[in-house]
Structure 1
Amino acid sequence: MQGTHRWLAPAAVVIAFGMSSTPTAQADSDDSQPTLGGGSGLVFGGSTKCSLTTIGYDAAGRLVGFTAGHCAEPGTPVQAEQSPDAGTIGVVRDGDEELDYAVIEFDASRVAPVRTVNGTTIAGFGAAPDAGNVVCQNGRTSGHACGIVWTSSPVGFMEQACSSYGDSGGPVTLGDQLVGMISAPLFTDTRNTRFSCTDTSNPVHSPVIAVAFDTVRAAVDAGKGVGSGFQPI
């Protein structure tokens, strides 16, 4: 699944971050019970690598998490990238192509959920940030990075933090509040021109499009399925 992001960049070409084999930037986990939180690396269907947005419980008491929708279709098995010997620890249950999110149901007996990963703590939710705010994000490839918000809407926003392939789904935070999830880099023309980010200290790179997490939660709550009533750890 891949959203077109017509709500933010109608004149731009947007291509979602694909799978990556780059080493992750996150803490090690116990293979018997992987530790997962916002920014942890996940493997979908045995090959596609993306990042976890957040983890917690829904209204029915299920342990659930979120990632970018283009990472996997419903029914896809999920593994922890840092703990491959743990095997399948969850499955994608739902998703939305336009908003580019997916809902994962985890096996609570096989996962140790945490609220802090690699400098990113998620204590609650916030509305989409305003233009000019500085937000931070955490992905399995690029790790923790911060940047200014260029444009914003209630559905999503564009920001300048460093991201690369495999960071899709990673959390975007303002303080300790989750405000969005990494969706895609912004390409500037129909030739897919993009300035890659290879150094988090270098601000010259293509901006990133993020989906507002409040909008994701509202859509999931309206569906009244897995993930409805979600609260982070």
Structure 2
Amino acid sequence: MGSEPESTRWTFPTLEQMDPDDDLVALGADLEPGTLLAAYRAGLFPMPSGPVQPWVPRLSRFRRGPRRDEPLAWFSPVRRGVLPLDGLRVSRSLRRACRDFDVRLDTAFDDVVAGCSDPSRDGAWIDDRIALAYGHLHRLGWAHSVEAWRDGELVGGLYGVAIGGLFAGESMFHRERDASKVALVGLVEALRDEHADARLLDVQWRTDHLASLGVVEIPRAEYLTRLSQATGLPLPGPFVA
């Protein structure tokens, strides 16, 4: 378990306070570790209010290009994307690709975030505030990276927040074909243990690409119920320092 930071001074909305038709549920607050953990425990995650999460369709309400003076946007999707650990679809070609990469955990967290924040990527949204905040959370033991390496070079990966049985995926990138998918396979393997049925792998939104890997949608209320159960579980062994 990570080191528990100072409690946040912010209060996040409950299910009853959220608009049942809107994924966006709050604006403002900060990215202090205590705030981020409180948000994830309440089913929310942040994005700068200018750009758009790269593994979801672009939302027309937001402009591209983050500005530091724009307030943070906090989301709790009406239809949440989750990947059942027994539902990951591994094609024959992906299974072959898994043999070509070395999967590592938490050996290059900042480099993974840098890969995910590459401004040349379509829909790039990770600004300096986000990178610094999750780097801090990583050093406290709450944020983790799963990396795909080939010949000693980082070629893909993903990062997210782990709280008990929750892994909240934030972003992923690749520099070689299938590298990010291989990292996802590695993540699922890391989460599979005697608590696998109750663990929750959150990917925020379902896209056609993620659906091809087994991601499904569940209603917000169901997600929050499962979240309260998952966060009470022990961390998976690979994420225990």
TM-score, length-scaled by structure 2 = 0.27
- From the two aligned structures, give the one with the greater helix fraction: 2
